[in-house]
Amino acid sequence: QSALTQPPSASGSPGQSVTISCTGTSSDVGGYNYVSWYQQHPGKAPKLIIYEVTKRPSGVPDRFSGSKSGNTASLTVSGLQAEDEADYYCSSYAGSNNPNVFGTGTKVTVL
């Protein structure tokens, strides 16, 4: 099972929006609505920010939103803040044989 493809980096100024893509296949992202997004600050454990494509856990600001079109899922961070600078990973269900696959990760820089 190959990792999902994410851009290595993305950036934006405070207050701007940044969108990160997560591209898979019809066997993972395109086939199921089980895409999650995680935020990871250096030296810290990942934090769930989006699950089931569009849902936000309680406590996650509504500046974070998710969507999916075909085999590509996207995470949009609106109103960028300094604390949003982190690595972001998508994950998707990929069927019962090898159930879960992560994306390659995207480093978001707040300029």
45 contacts other proteins (rule: CB under 8 A): yes
Q: Binders of other proteins: how many residues, by CB under 8 A?
A: 26
Backbone φ and ψ for 83, nearest 5 degrees, come out as -75, -5
Shortest Cβ distance from residue 19 to other proteins (Å)? 20
Of 17, 12, 10, 13, residue with least CA distance to 78 = 17
In degrees, rounded to 5, the angle at the alpha carbon of residue 34 between the alpha carbons of residues 26 and 67 is: 80
27 contacts other proteins (rule: CB under 8 A): no
Give the residue with the Cβ less far from other proteins, 8 or 83.
8
Hey, which residues between 51 and 90 contact other proteins (CB under 8 A)?
51-52, 57, 89
